[in-house]
Structure 1
């Protein structure tokens, strides 16, 4: 089958949607289908799409032209916060197999399949409608193929490394703030700091690098997986990365840097995989990050949190979704 994946991403809005769609792209390929990515984005997304069949195109502004060609595809996936309800209606009328990725019950979706792989998905009480099916919860969360199979984690008695990752752009400039404070507080720990292509604060972060601080830029999915396994604790934004952390069992302290991350952060906190430190603008956010990090230093706490994460996310979500979409 030919599958069209429509999404968006840029240095200003981040790359989470693209990462999810790449996960489904890999699942389509693995199961013998022909995926194509159409991305409304800027130059910051090009490295993510390397070696993938794709086009950078502002389909939001040109969707009526796109609709005329939509019937060339057997399957259409839409992962967007910007697409209009009218657009979804047109997709629903013209394509038999359609999937809408949702995070917070954004619109009244037409017939098709709605995917919300969030740990909080069942709490949203989606409306039951004729012709509308739901795939809800982490069982269906799409992860990149590097996270489909993960080696066993070694939980050290004493924590040695902290991973700091705030997405592909760190638009709220959290990385240097968190790194500077944690480095001063935990003087005997090593810091693994992920720098994304969309970062505008690389010079500020690089100035903090020393034998205690290691920077990693342009990581592949496999590289990110190995870094997560190497770390004992992660300080992270509250988006898609949290599911990869759960998959490898890296306990986390989460900071919400966008409103669409709030449910996710609180959901992980409630089930016991992560501590939610708060909203990025909170006056005491750094103090809370430090306090929660100190709590996770305890071996028993890390062991328990790691088990919760790995039990919640098994990595097979993308394959389950594609099988559901393409079954007869």
Structure 2
């Protein structure tokens, strides 16, 4: 139920952005802001620089009750100090090195465990807390076909054209007759550069910075994906996927999904053997519809798309507590 404007707490969400960071941090913060929207006023800040100065200035301006930080560029000391400025601090984490100085810690990777002594910090861990846009909560309408006719290739928001070329070529070699949907993210190489890298593959559509990947996922019979937020979205849409690790912070998530039978991990982006591994994985899945069905079903069982709502509910409960959770009163 929505609250009246006078009752709505204000929340500042600070995410890393830019080519080096990709889009995952911003997408998670926007997904959480969407879940908070029925009862809170949110401001999302996407910053390429380090530190919390901008977020704290926004928190003071808004008299914010809560600060959400999804950043590798904010130190533990800065985060701890921020607890004096707002009632509630939330840290969105990928590393799993606990404890962390926040009131709530969110890490959606499989296999992470809270510290032996969590203190007053609430740890929301595992794919039940994956911060995905609300559309991913809807049950996907998917039928598994005998023949793979369409493959989605999505390699993060900062798509490198050369890597896209290598991976898409491997898919084409495995499936000469399939249609390919390739995504060019807004923080990477230009869409024209991605098109040039794929020009000789035939039957490839390049999608430049689509607002959502969900429609492309639902059309795809198979996907090749980076190991961050997109891999979790593919799981939520029951899309069988081959995963590519683009950065160290994706490895835990990617391997956790692979260990649970929710995707096939092909290897790291900088591995010279990656194209051969992608080609082999795609070829094997193409002739095994039952395995594709199992991958999709397991992914959806793990990631139901309600993670942002669960985190928003936890934040609301903490803010409703009579005593201040962090430092300053609201």
Matched residue count: 307
- C-alpha change, 1:172 and 1:211, in structure 2 (3 Å) is closer
Q: Is 1:36–2:43 an aligned residue pair?
A: yes
Aligned to 1:242: 231
**Which deviates further from its counterpart, 5-14 or 170-179?**
170-179
Kept in 2: contact 1:99–1:114 (CA 8 A) = yes
Aligned to 2:34: 26
Within-5 A mapping of 1:1-328: 1-29=9-37, 31-41=38-48, 58=49, 60=51, 62=53, 66=57, 69=60, 72-106=63-97, 108-122=99-113, 125-171=114-160, 173-200=162-189, 202-207=191-196, 208-209=198-199, 212-221=203-212, 224-297=213-286, 298-327=288-317, 328=320
Whole-angstrom CA distance in 2 between matches of 1:291 and 1:111: 43
Whole-angstrom CA distance in 1 between matches of 2:229 and 2:240: 15
Whole-angstrom CA distance in 2 between matches of 1:251 and 1:242: 10
Aligned to 1:46: none
Partner-residue secondary structure (3-state), 2:84: helix
Kept in 2: contact 1:120–1:137 (CA 8 A) = yes
Partner-residue secondary structure (3-state), 2:83: helix
Kept in 2: contact 1:85–1:107 (CA 8 A) = no
- C-alpha change, 1:145 and 1:64, in structure 2 (3 Å) is closer
Partner-residue secondary structure (3-state), 2:244: strand
**C-alpha deviation, 1:35, in angstroms:** 0.5
TM-score computed with the length of structure 2 as normaliser:
0.87
Partner-residue secondary structure (3-state), 1:98: strand
Q: Structure 2: which 5+ residue stretches go unaligned?
A: 1-8, 321-330
Partner-residue secondary structure (3-state), 2:256: helix
**C-alpha deviation, 1:242, in angstroms:** 0.7
TM-score computed with the length of structure 1 as normaliser:
0.87
Kept in 1: contact 2:245–2:269 (CA 8 A) = yes
**C-alpha deviation, 1:183, in angstroms:** 1.7
- C-alpha change, 1:64 and 1:308, in structure 2 (3 Å) is closer
Kept in 1: contact 2:191–2:206 (CA 8 A) = no
Kept in 1: contact 2:174–2:283 (CA 8 A) = no
After superposition, what is the alpha-carbon deviation per residue over 1:187-217, rounded to whole angstroms, capped at 9, x for unaligned? 1111111111123253443132475111111
Kept in 2: contact 1:118–1:136 (CA 8 A) = yes
Higher relative contact order (CA 8 A, sep 6+): 2
Partner-residue secondary structure (3-state), 2:153: strand
Q: Structure 1: which 5+ residue stretches go unaligned?
A: 42-57
Whole-angstrom CA distance in 2 between matches of 1:151 and 1:105: 30
